[in-house]
Structure 1
Amino acid sequence: MRGHCILSHGFESGPDATKVTALAETAERLGWTCERPDYTDLDAMQDAGDLGDVAGRVRRLHGLASAAAARGPLVLAGSSLGAWISGHVSLQVQVAGLFLMAPPVRMDAAHPLDAAAVPTSIIHGWDDDLCRPDDVLAWAASRRARLLMVDDGHRLSRHVQASADAFGQLLAAL
């Protein structure tokens, strides 16, 4: 085993989502173990805000990541809200790398995306109507993160394999 990956799905998605499944298959092929937490119960909590219980997602990922990091190298990956919580948790738990798909760099003024200074790879769509490409470009540049911009929207549905390939490149480099 080379390490462990925790793959966090986006809002109104699930642990069996197409992109997260493709990432898990890539990681396992490269000798990494994976887990895909299910946040759908937290997404349904409408009284907690438009994005469900974000703090609950952070707590859940933090608990899983803390246990996994104690066993060896850990990579956090996430899509959209899953990318935001992965970045946030990377500041609290030692991680070897981050893989962010369509990250919301500015969820709101009080909650910008932040992350540990570790090898980071990002894939983002030029036509993302939820997370502005200019914001992601600036965030990636400020960290010297690897950034793949693709001709796609927020869901990156036409670039599932490209996402898996970019994830594999990050894992292979660690």
Structure 2
Amino acid sequence: MSARGHCILSHGFESGPAATKVAALAEIAQQVGWSEERPDYTDLDARTDISSLGDVHARVERLHALALRAADRGPLVLAGSSLGAWISGQVSLRVPVRGLFLMAPPTRMGDAPPLQAADVPVSIVHGWHDELIQAMAVVEWARARSATLLLVDDEHRLADHVDASAQAFGRLLDSLGR
């Protein structure tokens, strides 16, 4: 593990560990002195669970196991996009984390519990025109936690704001110090 800490970057549904956004976050983490890993959940996407989003419980358990191992070695930050953001929030309640970075986080997801998160610094990037998750729901969720929130002129995939997302992640990591 690096001197500063470790980041676990979780991709969204029907995505993968080499996805553009999590790859950009990984690059920023390395640049500012944090180690990173990107779990692969693609084997779980075909299994059904909450709202046909794959095996959500198995994603949570996979991230939980990785986070437990990483938290024993030093500061840990969880980051995720969409479903990856939701599972990061859930796992943050079970493992000590220094911060959370959530991109296009679903505040509600079918029959699943609402988005929850540990009481740690949270930074969020969300698109005003997200076709899956209403921006105002994310604004309210962020307001209730005094989270840092960057709203951008984009849709759910945040394809036009990959660099802005990575820079926001870098700011969160810098703010956490040691």
The TM-score, its normalising length taken from structure 1, stands at: 0.98
One-letter amino acid of the structure 2 residue matched with residue 86 of structure 1 = S
Q: Which residue of 2 aligns with 1:3?
A: 5
Please say if 1:31 is aligned against 2:30.
Answer: no
Give the fraction of aligned pairs with identical amino acids, expressed as a percent: 68
Q: What's the secondary structure of 1:98's corresponding residue?
A: strand
Q: Say whether the 8 Å CA contact 2:51–2:110 is kept in structure 1.
A: no
- 1:121 maps to 2:127: no
Runs of 4+ deviating beyond 2 Å: 46-49
1:46 Cα deviation after fit = 3.6
Residue identity matched to 1:82: G
Gaps spanning 5+ residues in structure 2: where?
Answer: none
Counterpart for residue 168 of structure 1: 170
- 1:142-157 map, 5 Å: 142-157=144-159
Residues 85-124 of structure 1 mapped to structure 2, 5 A cutoff: 85-108=87-110, 110-124=112-126
The answer on 1:133 being equivalent to 2:139 is no
Distance 2:162 2:58 in 1: 27
Do 2:50 and 2:112's aligned partners in 1 also have CA atoms closer than 8 Å? no
Aligned residues: 174
Structural RMSD (CA):
1.1
For 2:19, the aligned partner's letter is A
1:102-150 CA distances to partner (integer Å, 9 max, x unpaired)?
0000113651000000000000000001011010000000000000000
